[in-house]
Homo-oligomer: A and B are copies of this chain.
Amino acid sequence: MEQYENVAVQTDFHIDSAREAIDALDLQIIEIIQRRQAISLQIQQKRMSEGGTRTVLSREERILDRYATGLGARGTALALNILSLCRGRVTTAEPGAGGGPQGAR
């Protein structure tokens, strides 16, 4: 049998209501990311209109660190995911768009 992290489960704990709570949290996460996308897009637009690059590596690293600090090592993968989601759709290849994480706003 597997051993899993031992967490005290309250006696009156009901899976159905716990799942409803998770569903509500998921909707909050989605809504916040949609807002993040909108703001992020405006930053990209502003930077590009001023002839700047779309991403700033140091800014990106601070965002990755924030998620790793809050959620552990796997938080970094989540942050990369969120940065990717917040990247505006680019229709032609960006000149000089090197590898690595992109999209820090």
Contacts and interface: CB of A to CB of B under 8 A. Distances in A.
Interface of A: 1-7, 9-10, 13, 15, 18-19, 21-23, 25-36, 38-49, 54, 59, 63, 66-67, 70-72, 74-75, 77-78, 81-82, 84-85, 88-95, 97, 105
Q: How many copies does the complex hold?
A: 2
Contact of A84 (B26, B43, B70, B74): B74
B84 A81 contact: no
Contact of A75 (B27, B35, B85, B105): B85
A21 B34 contact: no
Interface centre among A29, A40, A71 (most CB of B within 10 A): A29
B75 A78 contact: no
